[in-house]
Amino acid sequence: MHLGANVRVNKIGIGITIGLICLFYLYSHRGPAYSSIDNKDVVSMKALLAGAIKVAQIGGLEVISVHDNLHSLNLASKGKTKEGVNDPVTAADYRSHCAMYHALLDAFPRITVKSEEKSIGCDKVDILDLKEYLKNPEPLGINYDSAVNANDITVWIDPLDATKEYTENLVQYVTTMVCVAIKGQPVMGVIHKPFDNKQTYWAWVDHGQSTNLHVKTPKKGKQPVLIVSRSHAGRVHNASKSALGQNVQVVSAAGSGYKSLEVAVGNATAYVHITAIKKWDICAGAAIISALGGKMTPLSGPPPIGFGPEDDTLLSTGLLATMNDHQWYLDKFYTA
């Protein structure tokens, strides 16, 4: 009899305990836009996307403010790139880096962030409180969210893509970029154009994209239009002609972010790069193109490009990005 009473009491006790746990769970999961924002080890992917978009835009504001004050355009030389083009580092580059890198790391301290620049003079740059912003961010129009271990996340940022063109006032090519890779695979890309149309283009593989990414369905029998780097256009024009014939249409442009977008929306059918390129230049484009159903690979084909924390920051095997007929282009360049 005593035993029976004990069991009953325990049952009530267990019931109360479960009830309290449920109440505590609901209580601790109320309120802020993203449930895991205060847990540093687990990252809300939706919060990270909203944060990535925001920092690309604030990086863009730094780039514009330095440009508007041209006299302070402080050219320092990073040395010559392999192609012999002078690769200037500007005050804008550093300021944008500071604003983007530190805002992200303050809000998501356990993720790995890889930036093209180092933190120099960041005490002179106002750093946005991204955590505060994320309590009430611009809506993305995505209901889905997922929680990912901070250890598995590598964010690649390019605080100013097309630096050379920026100093030449060819600002239509300039972008700021943020890319999120999980276990080395790019899943979110943000490309912001601070000057040209002040638009931010973004996509999250399988979950959504910005409304300005209008993807054209290719016309049957559409001729290839290659987009290539204007800084070593001669060599890549030649390579493209031997691969696809003398009459192939080749457009020269600057900025990997710019060229990736042209392919993503169908203004060009392939982005071809034949020399070495850094991963922060290509990660956001890779994510956007992949989210829209296209591919970015080395020009030599597989293995895929790794964007993990331990992966080499340099891709030296050339690059091909397409929305359609990827293998066809690879074969053409392989046999050329």
Ligand X SMILES: *[C@@H]1O[C@H](CO)[C@@H](O)[C@H](O)[C@H]1NC(C)=O
Residues 22-51 binding ligand X (CB under 6 A) are none
Q: Output DSSP code: residue 36.
A: T
Stretch that binds ligand X, among 16-24, 49-57, 167-175, 257-265 (CB under 6 A): 257-265
Q: Is 20 annotated as a binding residue?
A: no
CA dist 65 and 116 (Å) reads 20
Query: Does residue 261 interact with ligand X by CB under 6 A?
Result: yes
Sole window of 68-76, 91-99, 130-138, 261-269 interacting with ligand X (rule: CB under 6 A): 261-269
Comparing CB distances to ligand X, the nearer of 146 and 238 is 238
| CA-to-CA separations, 289 to 25, 188, 271, 322, in angstroms, rounded | 39, 10, 11, 8
Give the integer Cα–Cα distance in Å for 165 and 263. 20
Among 65, 210, 267, 275, contact with ligand X (rule: CB under 6 A): 267
Contacts of residue 184, Cβ cutoff 8 Å, sequence gap at least 6: 154, 306, 307, 308, 311
* Smallest separation, CB 261 to ligand X (Å): 4
- Residues in a beta bridge with 42: 149
Q: Does 262 bind ligand X (CB under 6 A)?
A: yes
125 secondary structure, DSSP code = S
Which C-beta is closer to ligand X: that of 108 or that of 201? 201
158 is in an annotated binding site: yes
Say whether 116 counts as a known binding-site residue. Answer: yes
For 161, the token pair is 């893509």
Pick the piece of the chain touching ligand X (CB under 6 A) from 12-20, 58-66, 147-155, 262-270: 262-270
Binders in 225-254 for ligand X, by CB under 6 A: 234-235, 238
Helix (H) or strand (E) holding 202: strand 200-204
Largest interatomic CA distance in the chain: 97
Q: Does 84 bind ligand X (CB under 6 A)?
A: no
Binding site for ligand X (CB under 6 A): 234-235, 238, 261-262, 265, 267
Per the annotation, where are the binding residues for Mg(2+)? 116, 158, 160-161, 281
